[in-house]
Structure 1
Amino acid sequence: MARLTRAQQQERTRAAVLDAAGREFAEHGYAGAKIDRIAERAEMTRGAVYSNFPTKRALYLAVLVGLVERSTGAGETAGTPRTTGAPGAPGRTPRPSPASVAGSLGSFARAWLERLPLSGDSPADGHLRLRSLTGVLDDEPSRTALAQVARLEALLLALALESHPPRNARRVRLAELALTLLNGSAGLAETAPGFGDPFDVVRACGHLAGIDLADAWNPPHLPYVSPARPCDDPWIPTAGVSDRITGRRADLGDDGVIAVLGAGRLAAAEEAVRGALPDDRVTVVAVTGDPAEIGRLVRLRIDDLTACLRRVFAADAWPSLRVVLDDHAQAAAALGLPGVGDATEAAVRVRDGRIVARAEGRGAAHAVATAGAPDVTRSGGSGA
């Protein structure tokens, strides 16, 4: 029998820890789970668990990320095959996009509500199905990151909804309202099991399309943002990075805007999208100073939302915004940003394989996106 390499042994150890942790969290919930019991289940030492996952929270988030990855292919939760729990649950095969905004919101709600616990679930197992973060995010950085990634989730849903006519209608506020309703339903399912009817929630989400929200957008800081700096820097894109939306390799050498956003600044993606030229390729490179916890939180939320989008919308209606998770800051370093963290906001404009504009600090994504026309970039104007 061939001897396992060090990397293979590490991967086997991580898999065993994750499997044991999944069973522990499903039985005892996050608060009641014990690292000692997880180590015992995995037939390892406590130190072996911590050598792979520095905290219980990091381990719990890793379990949830794995749950989402498995459920996109086999409808599994906590390692156990399950049937879907929401009404009219869509299948896994590609399908045409619904014909209207209302139809898309209803279909998205059905896909999203599959996470609701089944009648036979224990409370702890139901929490896993819900991707529950109750009692998990107990500090300001993690709560800030959750609020920011929720804004990015709404932007992604909005861009998919904007595939319906009229194409010039922004639907970010509509997407935020729909996600507020769905997250509220999940919260009630966790704290008051059995309350409410998922069919009613689905119908209500469809009816949201008829509300005139105006989608006004005028952040007060934008008039004070400094223009992007024109430059002419070489650009060697980082190879092997993937877009979390499509799952395909992302070519960061494409013309357009690249915004490097820390987990505490992800809402600035909307500034880049709204300010960009119609033909611009906009890419968000998400970075963090805490890949084990904050990085996994961002991955969990984006992958979970993207799985729902893929099941509702045809590929040509998926959000055009690319999202790259840069846990090790490789892409950021290639752009000349070696020191990044959760408060990072920086952006560049790429044209013909060169970096032609840069900006850092609050409003950087907007500054670079609006510095789109060649004459504006050369003169250093904001283009606003």
Structure 2
Amino acid sequence: MVRLTRAQQQERTRTAVLVAAEAEFAEHGFIAAKVDRIAERAELTRGAVYSNFPSKRALYLAVLVDTVEREANDAVPPTFPRAMADALGSFARTWLERLPLADGTGTDVHPRSLAAVVDDAPTRNALARIDRLEVLLFALALESCPSVDAERTRQVRRADLVLRLLKGSGPLADPMLGSDPFDVTHACRHLGGLDLADVWDPPHLPHIAAAHSCREPWTAPGELPDLITGHPVGFEGDGVIAVLGTDRLGAAEEVVRAARPGDRVTVAVVTSDPAEIGRLVRLRIVDFTRCLRRVFSPDAVSRLRLVLDDGALLASAIGVADAADDTEQAVRIDRGEIVARARGRGAAHAAASARASATTRPPGGTP
């Protein structure tokens, strides 16, 4: 008889709970599902379920994350469209083909069926911030289209319009597909022809304090999965690292726009509630970037790496003492040293835009 280690037994228990929960949620939906029935299906105690997942909502989100991460590994060749209208049309088709049908057919366990789950202000606020992060990722992908002019015109407004059309009138709109998908796809294609005055000029940026120059040794932590590519990434090289709480996800665009050409930009998302808000971030971004990868080339969003720092691994490495939902701290790393550091609102932009004179080692080594 093979004796399992404690870690192996915990993983087996967690897997059994997820399998049982998926069946329960599919049969009864989130609201009517019962933790006692999930425990009975898994042949475990109620306590064993709660020892792995602190709430029914955390368990539901875990089931959805497990579903989208399995599906994200499916090999689907991207279309690599060249024209803006083609890119928007391809993305719309990819998005719409995954929605449940309006006649009620299909599973209730769907990654965009969150109306019953998002029932409190903190979760609604987090979802709104995640929406803005999705807009940025979509915009960066659109900016990679060859039809976009040489100055890489910002595409955030266009991305926002398309996603509003695809998602409905609000972040909790019914995800079931009721409109004719051909009409929706056609409308998205036409949004590619709009002449939008989309400039990057936030009024608060001139008032952000400059990053603090420093010379601190950089010890890179272990790898974390990049939510955009699905691959693990390390942090040994140069670049900018911004640790953002879920309330500060809007600063992701600030660090991307301020970064120098060729900079490796990493955004590490932290939250005080990894079991629920953390899983919500992972669920939405993995599901969204799977759609992006089916349409755009692998380097379409290469300016940004996005990791969920559940264990504060990267946050601790750059010196964040207590990662919280309102955290915003950032550093610039150059040749094995932290050479600029910033914290508070605007920190991501400050570290990314740190002047070369403040971050370049003078000839001869130490200053």
Question: TM-score, normalised on structure 1?
Answer: 0.88
The residue aligned with 2:158 is 174
**Do the aligned partners of residues 194 and 65 (structure 1) sit closer, same or farther apart at CA in structure 2, a change above 3 Å counting?**
closer
The residue aligned with 2:292 is 309
The residue aligned with 2:364 is none
CA distance in 1, matches of 2:208, 2:155: 25
Q: Which of 115, 133, 142 is the equivalent residue of 1:161?
A: 142
The residue aligned with 2:206 is 223
Identity %: 60
The residue aligned with 2:356 is 374
The alignment yields a C-alpha RMSD, in angstroms, of 2.2
Letter in 2 for 1:304: D
**Do the aligned partners of residues 285 and 189 (structure 1) sit closer, same or farther apart at CA in structure 2, a change above 3 Å counting?**
closer
Shift of 1:126: 4.5
CA distance in 1, matches of 2:222, 2:172: 43
Shift of 1:274: 1.1
Any unmatched runs of 5+ in structure 2?
A: 361-367
**Do the aligned partners of residues 188 and 13 (structure 1) sit closer, same or farther apart at CA in structure 2, a change above 3 Å counting?**
closer
The residue aligned with 2:126 is 145
The residue aligned with 2:258 is 275
CA distance in 2, matches of 1:126, 1:102: 32
Letter in 2 for 1:177: L
The residue aligned with 1:79 is none
1:1-384 alignment runs, 5 A limit: 1-73=1-73, 92-118=75-101, 121-122=104-105, 126-164=107-145, 165-167=148-150, 168-184=152-168, 190=174, 195-371=178-354, 373-377=355-359
CA distance in 1, matches of 2:193, 2:77: 27
Q: Deviations over 1:105-164 (max 9, x none)?
A: 111111111221147745xx5542352110212222211211111111111111111111
Higher mean Cα deviation, 165-174 or 326-335?
A: 165-174
**Do the aligned partners of residues 110 and 29 (structure 1) sit closer, same or farther apart at CA in structure 2, a change above 3 Å counting?**
same
CA distance in 2, matches of 1:9, 1:194: 41
Higher mean Cα deviation, 297-306 or 179-188?
A: 179-188
Shift of 1:204: 1.2
The alignment partner of 1:315 has SS state of coil
Kept in 1: contact 2:238–2:264 (CA 8 A): yes
Shift of 1:56: 0.7
The alignment partner of 1:28 has SS state of helix
Kept in 1: contact 2:221–2:235 (CA 8 A): yes
Any unmatched runs of 5+ in structure 1?
A: 75-91, 379-384
**Do the aligned partners of residues 115 and 94 (structure 1) sit closer, same or farther apart at CA in structure 2, a change above 3 Å counting?**
closer
Letter in 1 for 2:160: E
The alignment partner of 2:225 has SS state of coil
Kept in 1: contact 2:167–2:173 (CA 8 A): no
The alignment partner of 2:341 has SS state of strand
**Do the aligned partners of residues 43 and 355 (structure 1) sit closer, same or farther apart at CA in structure 2, a change above 3 Å counting?**
same
Q: Deviations over 1:215-259 (max 9, x none)?
A: 133333322211111111110111222322222332322222111
The residue aligned with 1:82 is none
CA distance in 1, matches of 2:263, 2:41: 51
Q: Deviations over 1:6-48 (max 9, x none)?
A: 1111111111111111111112211111111111111211111
Kept in 1: contact 2:221–2:313 (CA 8 A): yes
CA distance in 2, matches of 1:286, 1:189: 25
Letter in 1 for 2:61: L
Question: TM-score, normalised on structure 2?
Answer: 0.91
**Do the aligned partners of residues 144 and 113 (structure 1) sit closer, same or farther apart at CA in structure 2, a change above 3 Å counting?**
same
CA distance in 2, matches of 1:16, 1:228: 49
The alignment partner of 1:169 has SS state of coil
Kept in 1: contact 2:256–2:303 (CA 8 A): no
Kept in 2: contact 1:157–1:319 (CA 8 A): no
Q: Deviations over 1:246-286 (max 9, x none)?
A: 22332322222111001111110001111111221111011
CA distance in 1, matches of 2:227, 2:78: 20
CA distance in 1, matches of 2:178, 2:292: 26
Kept in 1: contact 2:91–2:291 (CA 8 A): yes
Letter in 2 for 1:102: A
CA distance in 1, matches of 2:171, 2:25: 18
Shift of 1:71: 2.1
Shift of 1:185: 7.9
The residue aligned with 1:83 is none
Shift of 1:93: 3.3
Kept in 2: contact 1:284–1:321 (CA 8 A): yes
